[in-house]
Structure 1
């Protein structure tokens, strides 16, 4: 039933959701309205192009109606269900407010509302409107990894009257036959395992075709009195979850103010942490505050809880691209480092999730998904070895000794896997490769799928199920050098002196080999080399500055490398750090993927690499040029993109891309 609240208590709850607690902080989410444009209208279930909001790892999201769309008054857009290769909008608006004027005996036409506004705050959707002397504030926020809460606060600004509040909603016709009601909930069957549930404080629910409708008990509102109605939406991924999350949702529907207050405090804390920045950062968080928040929101909106064959929570590359509804190894290392200061358990679980798919030999899978029956684990290749960096950075942030005790033997096994399976001539320099003997999977292993440096590579067999390309890659070996140093540091923390000493020695030997064999003094750059002759594959790409980031280069080599990076004919393009030198004949950012577009992870490695060797002014200058030139990054509601055109600076490929956001956060 509708609860009439004591004015003081109600205002306290309302203010907790809408006003900054000045005693706690000068920064709140109210300072960041509509950092991303989440407004749109959904007319079909397969519709693309409308951005959405999620939190706490839900596999569903919601959006805002556009202010001018008065048909959307009383509700929010969605939900959007994130389903591997089959994501779709369940509804144009699954839960919409109804207001009945009991005295007049009619439902109010909310499309005649005035002063309508739809606002996205970090962690919260809000709609405000006025109709017939009623002021309505409608909120949507997430309460746990399966549940969103929708609540409407109605304030009487006129004479005393009796009103009746309720909800209504519809689903797209493709699943209309599966809408049913039971007690105080509406059930929508998605398939044999998945279902959506709507929970209310009312048992009299009418279901017809693909729609439902309900009205709670009439309530008399005196002048200036207020009341509230709430409901919960749950996207449940397994039948075993139904009872658990229905039980958890019941108190949320009865007392949403408590959950809303907790939501506000959590998000304000994130923003306070974000605003602190770092003293030695190359980007100033005060100057680019909106960008920092947008980067953080991108990660939070891509946060997915453990479900199905994803055994630990993590961050997917992009909710906006159906093919990215899984976890990738390379991406995950970056996501974990970026999110660790804010959600340390999520960061640790992101790493655990990838190591859940480590085989007996020590190899880590490239990627996997929630439902492996639809698309299995990709064991054709792994990804570049950055997990040691990720584990160490998360430990630095959390000081969780048990975490590194858990991860250290797994990391060690993975590191040694490279030398057993990707070092064809056993000379201590590794190659990218594959398990199926294909060159394309070997290129995927680098993460730079179609990079020009692999065009002429040949695949060779090392042992059964282990193949290499016939070139030793500078970035791979620079990452392996860095990983040896992180293993050394972790071993020291764990009191494993013999292991630490061994990896310190191995690291030094590898560093000397990279400096001697992979650097060309004639043009001041590092290159991949042919396996047999050690001839340099003289194609300039971001792999060549990986020795800066991983601190492999000598001081003199670093000096010459920075000159190449700062050259406006090569890498200092209008948006800097293309993935192929602009002087190369195959430079093609529009179609090239890794043959010219700017990827922000590689830009980050260059910027941090310059800083590592004391070129701080150059690093800061290039970081500022990077973010200010990219289309839509600064002072814009546009989403962060997968990559960017280095000449036109336009965003390319997937929107709301997590590793781009991760490296932006690291720059702060």
Structure 2
């Protein structure tokens, strides 16, 4: 706690802020202050499992906070939470753990913040801010993250009236959960969560614990005098640590950290402004959408990825981006998602992008297979080795290299990528004809469908699982066009990566294989009458004439010839099939099993597949059509241009958002449209 007196500095800062606000958005001088409340993070949880609320985190933290609603006057003086993210057990620890309260020590009367005027109660990218005017006092609070375990809360009181005596306190409570209780430590609180995890609170100055029970506390400071135009300030830390070892090792002493709030806040602002400077570069000729024209969508997409950033811990040997913090079942890393997240975040956080790829390769077995997904808690047997995911890591590695120029990263991952690429031909090529199938390690068809990433797609309804000659390897009895298109493109990327490393012999091999595979896919998987690419039966080689996004994979991966691309684009632009109110559903709207409300991959629009469609159109000269479809998509999808969360997928007819909120790969592919 400290008090300081008014000086001309405040007036200078105010003048600067006024000057900064006069800049037009058209100047492209974007600052986080331009994006106030682009996500609605307001509301107080009623139960630990309250799932309708959103929250804010940063720097890979595993805990987050929100804001009370403007009408929640009883909550003025604090922030919602924390919310802690755990495998299948994510929960709100408290409705409001840290609430500032004031009273007059002379009269003994409380100074009720609930009776004050709420000036500010806002989320800006990277920070929460609240400001209340009560009597002659202006109370300001801000909360932001300073590392992957620590949130920093700054509180300030400005006395705009006559000299007065004040006394401050912090109050809070936690939800009743098992045997959980608040424990008091010198200058802080300790709340055990589960196993070795704990939430810790550190106050800047030692106070007095007035009342305490297992679920509530009241921490009171010594009275002080605040002169006219004087300030009182205090800082707090809120840490969510995951082990005893983490609580023992701290890069700086807590007392030192608490004194550096201004420095940390400046660093936070500079980092976020750098993100926006990168995001809103002058218009890129190859971009399908303008970030300047769709700045809310662009900024919200970036914020969504940062909010889903999780640091290394437990089964996470490297940091990464989870699919959605808001869905308990998505607190892990998935292979397909990870490749997409890495490409999108690379311009902003290149080390995170590299680690996102490394994290998945940490789960590569001796044969070369990469696990489908894994979670933080290794004790829950939470690594899925039943299947892998479609091969997009070569794309991710190359895109990260183009952003960073880091050839050492390529050298590090190249042997593992090569091993994974050829794993497909050993374990997922039933008849050894050089054309692969989706499959599983446990002999189940459902895991084979998961391997495609399109879990319940109609094209797999009649598929049968087959035992391959290699032990522990199974394939379905159909050769998928998207899988082999991705494998073709991976050969192209392997050629480029080999060239970067000077491995010419490997490069020649990949080029030869790519040329041969491309010819087979063009001649054997395209149905001229329908103008579309299809999967085909393994034995009979007959096409499985179900139109889904797999059919435009040859355009995205630049396999189709000009005439074939024309046929596919014609199908994509057909309003009875894929040019729906939100374009590019995952099953043709003309199919009798089209069911977006319940279908998951039987109709909803997934933005990764929409991106592949749009880029495929662009590659073959249909850029104007692609731009029109991209504009149509983001304008139609419910909430994309407002402060609603980005969804896992969207209903192509009603336009409503479906399934998980704050979904990372949707955000990732939106960002790619601006790239």
Say whether the fold is shared (TM-score over 0.5): yes
Q: Tell me the residue number matched to 2:455.
A: 449
Distance 1:164 1:155 in 2: 14
**For 1:637, which of 628, 632, 643 is the aligned residue?**
643
User: Judging changes above 3 Å, is the alpha-carbon distance between structure 1 residues 18 and 297 closer, same or farther for their aligned structure 2 residues?
Assistant: farther
Structure 1: how far apart are the matches of 2:451 and 2:29?
Answer: 46
- Using the alignment, how far apart are the partners of 2:316 and 2:15 within structure 1? 38
The correspondence of residues 593-612 of structure 1 with structure 2, limited to 5 A, is 593-612=600-619
Q: How far 1:282 sits from its partner (Å)?
A: 0.8
1:545 has 2:552 as partner: yes
Distance in 1, Cα, partners of 2:187 & 2:156: 21
Asked whether 1:591 is paired with 2:598, we answer: yes
Partner of 1:144, secondary structure, is coil
Structure 2 length-normalised TM: 0.96
Do the aligned partners of residues 246 and 602 (structure 1) sit closer, same or farther apart at CA in structure 2, a change above 3 Å counting? same
1:493 and 2:500 correspond? yes
Shift of 1:117: 3.1
* Corresponding residue number in structure 1 for 2:137: 134
* Aligned residues: CA RMSD: 1.9
Q: What is the TM-score with the length of structure 1 in the denominator?
A: 0.97
SS at match of 1:654: strand
- Provide the rounded CA distance (Å) in 2 between the counterparts of 1:224 and 1:329: 56
Deviation at 1:176? 6.5
Q: Does the C-alpha gap of structure 1 residues 205 and 446 become closer, same or farther in structure 2, counting only changes over 3 Å?
A: farther
**Could you say what secondary structure the match of 1:173 adopts?**
coil
Is the alpha carbon distance of 1:12 and 1:431 closer, same or farther for their aligned partners in structure 2, counting shifts above 3 Å? farther
CA-to-aligned-CA distance 1:152-188 (integer Å, 9 cap, x gap): 1211111111222332211112267531112111100
Distance 1:22 1:352, change over 3 A: farther
Instruction: Structure 2: give runs of 5+ residues left out of the alignment.
Output: none
Counterpart of 1:484? Answer: 491
What residue is the counterpart of 2:41 in the other structure?
38
Helix, strand or coil at the partner of 1:273: helix
2:203 counterpart of 1:197: no
Q: Choose which of 79, 83, 98 in structure 2 pairs with 1:95.
A: 98
Q: Which range moves more in the overlay, 245-254 or 313-322?
A: 245-254
Match of 1:383 among 389, 397, 400: 389
Within the candidate set 82, 101, 107, 2:110 is matched to 107
Q: Which residue of 1 aligns with 2:316?
A: 310
Give the CA deviation at 1:14. 9.0
Q: CA deviation at 1:269?
A: 1.1
Q: Would the alpha carbon gap of residues 44 and 73 (structure 1) be closer, same or farther in structure 2, given more than 3 Å must change?
A: same
Any conservation in 1 of the 2:97–2:173 contact (CA below 8 Å)? Answer: yes
Change (3 A) 1:296 1:536: same
In the alignment, what sits opposite 2:219?
214
Return the match for 2:161 from 158, 162, 175. Answer: 158
Following the alignment from structure 1 to structure 2, what is the Cα–Cα distance between the partners of residues 18 and 491?
A: 53
Do 2:101 and 2:170's aligned partners in 1 also have CA atoms closer than 8 Å? yes
2:334 maps to: 328
CA distance in 2, matches of 1:8, 1:213: 36
2:84 equivalent in structure 1: 81
2:598 alignment partner, SS class: coil
Question: How far apart are the structure 2 equivalents of 1:311 and 1:14?
Answer: 45
Inter-CA distance 237–567: structure 2 relative to 1 (3 Å threshold): same
**What's the offset of the Cα at 1:372?**
2.0
- The question of whether the paired residues in 2 share the 8 Å contact of 1:408 and 1:490 is answered with yes
State the match for 1:536 in structure 2. 543
Residue 403 (structure 1) aligns with: 409
The 5-angstrom pairing of residues 180-329 of structure 1 reads 180-206=183-209, 207-245=212-250, 247-276=252-281, 278-329=284-335
User: Contact 1:17–1:264 (CA<8 Å) still a contact in 2?
Assistant: no
Equivalences for residues 603-622 of structure 1 within 5 A = 603-622=610-629
Number of matched residues? Answer: 667
2: distance between equivalents of 1:511 and 1:230?
A: 61
2: CA distance, partners of 1:359 / 1:171 = 43
1:19 to 1:364, Cα distance in 2 relative to 1, 3 A: farther
Preserved CA contact (<8 Å) 1:59 1:235: yes
Once residues 436 and 9 of structure 1 are traced to their aligned partners in structure 2, the CA distance between those partners, rounded to angstroms, is 68
Determine if contact 1:120/1:126 at 8 Å carries over to the other structure: yes
Q: For the residues of structure 2 that align with 1:356 and 1:14, how far apart are their CA atoms? A: 50
Is the CA contact 2:3–2:230 (under 8 Å) kept in the aligned structure 1? no
Distance 1:90 1:220 in 2: 35
Offset from partner CA, 1:351-384 (integer Å, 9 cap, x none)? 0000000000000000000002124200000000
Describe the shift of the 1:596–1:476 C-alpha distance in structure 2 as closer, same or farther (beyond 3 A): same
Kept in 2: contact 1:19–1:30 (CA 8 A): no
Cα deviation for residue 208 of structure 1 reads: 2.7
Between 615-624 and 206-215, report the one with greater CA deviation: 206-215
Counterpart of 1:365 in structure 2 is 371
User: How far did 1:220 drift?
Assistant: 1.8
Contact kept, 8 Å, 2:6 with 2:229, in 1: the verdict is no
Q: Are the equivalent residues in 2 in contact too, given 1:589–1:596 (CA < 8 A)?
A: yes
* TM-superposed deviation, 1:224: 1.2
Residue number in structure 1 paired with 2:345: 339
Q: Secondary structure at the match of 1:95?
A: strand
1:243-288 per-residue CA deviation (whole Å, 9 max, x = no partner) reads 2248454323223111111111111111111111533211111111
Could you say what secondary structure the match of 1:128 adopts? strand
Pair 1:212–1:13, CA change in 2 (3 A):
farther
Offset of 1:222 from its aligned partner? 1.5
The worse-fitting range, judged by mean Cα deviation, of 47-56 and 7-16 is 7-16
Which residue among 648, 662, 666 is the counterpart of 1:660? 666
8 Å CA contact 1:7, 1:226 repeated in 2: no
Alpha-carbon distance in 2 for matches of 1:89, 1:492: 50
